[in-house]
Structure 1
Amino acid sequence: MKPYLQAENLSKRWGELMLFENISFTLFEGQKVALIARNGTGKSTLLDLLAGKDSPDSGTITISNNIEMGYFEQIPRLDPEHTVHQEIFKADNEKMKTVKEFELAMEQNNQERITELSAKMDELGAWDIEVEIKQVLTQLKINHLDQPVKQLSGGQQKRLGLAKVLINKPDLLILDEPTNHLDLEMIEWLETYLGKSKSTLLMVTHDRYFLDRVCNEIIEMDDNQIYNYQGNYSLFLQKRNERIEMQQASVAKAQNLLRTELDWMRRMPKARGTKAKYRVDSFYNLKEKASKKIGEESIDLNVKSARLGKKIVETEHLSKSFPGVKLIEDFTYKFSRFEKVGIVGKNGTGKTTFLNLITGKIKPDSGKIEIGQTIKFGHYRQKGITFDPKERVIDAVNKIAEVIHFEDGSQMTSAQLLTRFLFPPEMQYNFIEKLSGGEQRRLYLCTVLMQNPNFLILDEPTNDLDIMTLNVLEEYIRLFEGCVVVVSHDRFFMDKIVDHLFIFEGNGKITDFPGDYTTYRKSVEAQQKEESLKTASEKKAEKNEQKHTLKKGPKKKLTFKEKQEMEALEKEIATLEEKKNELETLLNSGDLSHDKLFEKSKQLGQIKSAIDEKEFRWLELSELDSQLKNNK
Structure 2
Amino acid sequence: MPIVTVEQVSKAFPNRPLFEGANFGLEWGEKVGLIGLNGSGKSTLLKIIAGQEPADAGQVVWARDIAVEYLSQEPEFPAGVSVLKAVFSGDNRVVGLLGEYQEACEALTRDASQMERVARLSDEIEAAGAWELETRARTVLTALGIDWFERPVAELSGGQRKLVALARALVGQPDLLLLDEPTNHLDLARIEWLENYLKGMQTTLVMVTHDRYFLELVVGRILEVEGGQVHDFAGNYGFYLEHKELREQHRVKAADREENHLRRELAWLRQGPKARSTRQKARHKRALELIDSPREAKGRELALALGMRRLGKKLLETQGLRARNLAPLDFELQPGERVGIVGPNGSGKTTFLELITGSLEPEGGQVELGSTVHIGYYRQQSEELDPGMKVIEAVREVAEVLPLADGRSLSAARLLEQFLFPPHTHYNLVEKLSGGERRRLELLRVLMDRPNLLILDEPTNDLDIDTLVRLETYLDDFAGCVILVSHDRYLLDRVSTRYLLFNEGRVEEYLGLVSELRPAVPAARPRPTPSPARAQASARPQKLSYKEAQELATLEQSIAEGEARQAELEGLLASSQDDFEKVHGWYAELETLRTRLEVEVERWAELAERQ
Provide the TM-score with structure 1 as the length reference: 0.78
CA–CA separation in structure 1 for the residues paired with 2:80 and 2:99: 19
Report the AA paired with residue 402 of structure 1.
Answer: E
- Percent identity between the aligned chains? 40
TM-superposition CA deviations, 1:562-605 (whole Å, max 9, x none): xxxxxxxxxxxxxxxxx9x999774359xxxxxxxx99997999
Residue 3 of structure 1 is matched in structure 2 by 2
Secondary structure of 2:81 counterpart: coil
TM-superposition CA deviations, 1:278-321 (whole Å, max 9, x none): x7799589949986526443433212221111111111111111
List aligned pairs for 1:527-566, cutoff 5 A: none
1:81 CA displacement? 3.4
Residue 564 of structure 2 is matched in structure 1 by none
| 2:302/2:474 contact within 8 Å kept | no
- 5+ unaligned residues in a row in structure 2: which ranges? 523-527, 539-543, 553-601
Residue 308 of structure 1 is matched in structure 2 by 311
Structure 1 residues 297 and 17, CA, compared in 2 at 3 Å: closer, same or farther?
farther
CA–CA separation in structure 1 for the residues paired with 2:465 and 2:606: 54
Residue 516 of structure 2 corresponds to residue 510 of structure 1: no
Identify which of 177, 182, 191 aligns with 1:178.
182
CA–CA separation in structure 2 for the residues paired with 1:287 and 1:116: 73
Structure 1 residues 232 and 268, CA, compared in 2 at 3 Å: closer, same or farther?
farther
Structure 1 residues 66 and 375, CA, compared in 2 at 3 Å: closer, same or farther?
same
CA–CA separation in structure 1 for the residues paired with 2:546 and 2:445: 53
List aligned pairs for 1:158-557, cutoff 5 A: 158-256=162-260, 267=273, 270-272=276-278, 283=286, 287=290, 292-293=295-296, 295-321=298-324, 327-404=325-402, 411-506=409-504, 508-521=505-518
Root-mean-square deviation (CA), in Å?
3.6
CA–CA separation in structure 2 for the residues paired with 1:161 and 1:285: 55
TM-superposition CA deviations, 1:36-66 (whole Å, max 9, x none): 2122211112112222222222222222221
TM-superposition CA deviations, 1:466-490 (whole Å, max 9, x none): 1111112112113211111000010
TM-superposition CA deviations, 1:183-221 (whole Å, max 9, x none): 111111110011111110111110000111110111122
Secondary structure of 1:3 counterpart: coil
1:175 CA displacement? 0.9
Residue 160 of structure 2 is matched in structure 1 by 156
For structure 1, which segment, 422-431 or 436-445, has the greater mean C-alpha deviation from structure 2 after superposition? 422-431
| 2:455/2:484 contact within 8 Å kept | yes
Residue 52 of structure 2 corresponds to residue 53 of structure 1: yes
| 2:38/2:463 contact within 8 Å kept | yes
For structure 1, which segment, 385-394 or 260-269, has the greater mean C-alpha deviation from structure 2 after superposition? 260-269
Report the AA paired with residue 352 of structure 1.
Answer: T
Provide the TM-score with structure 2 as the length reference: 0.80
Structure 1 residues 147 and 268, CA, compared in 2 at 3 Å: closer, same or farther?
farther
CA–CA separation in structure 1 for the residues paired with 2:464 and 2:377: 20
Structure 1 residues 417 and 264, CA, compared in 2 at 3 Å: closer, same or farther?
closer
Structure 1 residues 243 and 411, CA, compared in 2 at 3 Å: closer, same or farther?
closer
For structure 1, which segment, 60-69 or 178-187, has the greater mean C-alpha deviation from structure 2 after superposition? 60-69
Structure 1 residues 96 and 520, CA, compared in 2 at 3 Å: closer, same or farther?
closer
1:157 CA displacement? 1.1
Report the AA paired with residue 278 of structure 2.
Answer: R
Secondary structure of 1:23 counterpart: strand
Secondary structure of 1:456 counterpart: strand
TM-superposition CA deviations, 1:202-246 (whole Å, max 9, x none): 111100001111101111222223322111111111111112222
Residue 570 of structure 1 is matched in structure 2 by none
Report the AA paired with residue 393 of structure 1.
Answer: V
1:615 CA displacement? 9.1
Secondary structure of 1:193 counterpart: helix
Structure 1 residues 391 and 112, CA, compared in 2 at 3 Å: closer, same or farther?
same
For structure 1, which segment, 366-375 or 73-82, has the greater mean C-alpha deviation from structure 2 after superposition? 73-82
Secondary structure of 2:131 counterpart: coil
Residue 85 of structure 1 is matched in structure 2 by 84
TM-superposition CA deviations, 1:410-467 (whole Å, max 9, x none): 6544333323322233321110122122211111011111111111100001122111
Structure 1 residues 437 and 285, CA, compared in 2 at 3 Å: closer, same or farther?
farther
Residue 624 of structure 1 is matched in structure 2 by none
| 1:33/1:218 contact within 8 Å kept | yes
1:24 CA displacement? 1.4
CA–CA separation in structure 1 for the residues paired with 2:151 and 2:607: 31
Structure 1 residues 600 and 372, CA, compared in 2 at 3 Å: closer, same or farther?
farther
Secondary structure of 1:481 counterpart: coil
CA–CA separation in structure 2 for the residues paired with 1:603 and 1:330: 49
List aligned pairs for 1:24-43, cutoff 5 A: 24-43=23-42
Residue 129 of structure 1 is matched in structure 2 by 133
Report the AA paired with residue 272 of structure 1.
Answer: T
CA–CA separation in structure 1 for the residues paired with 2:607 and 2:153: 36
Identify the structure with bigger relative contact order (alpha carbons < 8 Å, sequence gap 6+). 2
CA–CA separation in structure 2 for the residues paired with 1:187 and 1:75: 19
TM-superposition CA deviations, 1:378-398 (whole Å, max 9, x none): 000011321122211122223
For structure 1, which segment, 236-245 or 246-255, has the greater mean C-alpha deviation from structure 2 after superposition? 246-255
| 2:307/2:403 contact within 8 Å kept | no
TM-superposition CA deviations, 1:306-343 (whole Å, max 9, x none): 1111111111111111xxxxx21121111111100000
| 1:258/1:290 contact within 8 Å kept | no
| 1:251/1:289 contact within 8 Å kept | no
| 1:297/1:422 contact within 8 Å kept | no
Report the AA paired with residue 396 of structure 2.
Answer: N
Secondary structure of 2:516 counterpart: helix
Report the AA paired with residue 229 of structure 1.
Answer: F
- 5+ unaligned residues in a row in structure 1: which ranges? 322-326, 529-578, 590-597, 617-632
